[in-house]
Amino acid sequence: MKLRNERQCSKVLVVFARDRETLEEDFVGLALDREQELYVREVVESPELQCLTEEVKLRGWEGGYSENHKPELVYLVFRGGRAQNQGHSDDDFDPEIYGAFVDRQQAEWFAEKDRYIGQKIVPLHVWELKPGWISSNLRWD
């Protein structure tokens, strides 16, 4: 019997909140495991907001996570939405996760190479976050 030698693919859990009435979405948290994800949901969900989670491959990270082996920072690339530390505006598009990286330069290169689609410039933003981050600046506040 031949065993397949597959490298373990680490993923991050990117949590969004959706307004149940308008269906607008906002990025609200970053988790490395289901326990962190559930905590984000517990903090954010309400009768008005529902959380949705997307699993995203963490590029540049080998192996899984443990207490002593986990990324200090994660760089997320979003299509649409807003830049990190920028307030919300009425013109914001719902953010779409485009990639996750452990290296800022790699994330910025990825964002820059995919910024142009056809003749249109697509807004891509790189966010630098610690795993376990929860937004204190929700779109609906």
What is the model's pLDDT at position 91?
60
Q: pLDDT tens digits for the chain (141 residues)?
A: 333 333 456 999 999 999 999 998 999 999 999 999 999 999 999 999 999 999 999 999 988 888 888 999 999 999 888 888 887 666 667 889 999 999 999 999 988 876 665 656 677 899 999 999 999 877 666
Helices (H), the chain: 34-44, 104-113
What is the model's pLDDT at position 67?
85
CA distance 90 to 141: 13
CA distance 36 to 140: 23
Please give the helix or strand (H or E) that residue 55 lies within, else none.
Answer: strand 49-59
Q: Where are the domains of the chain?
A: 11-129
The dihedral of CA 130, 11, 139, 38: what is its sign?
negative
What is the model's pLDDT at position 139?
67
pTM here? Answer: 0.86
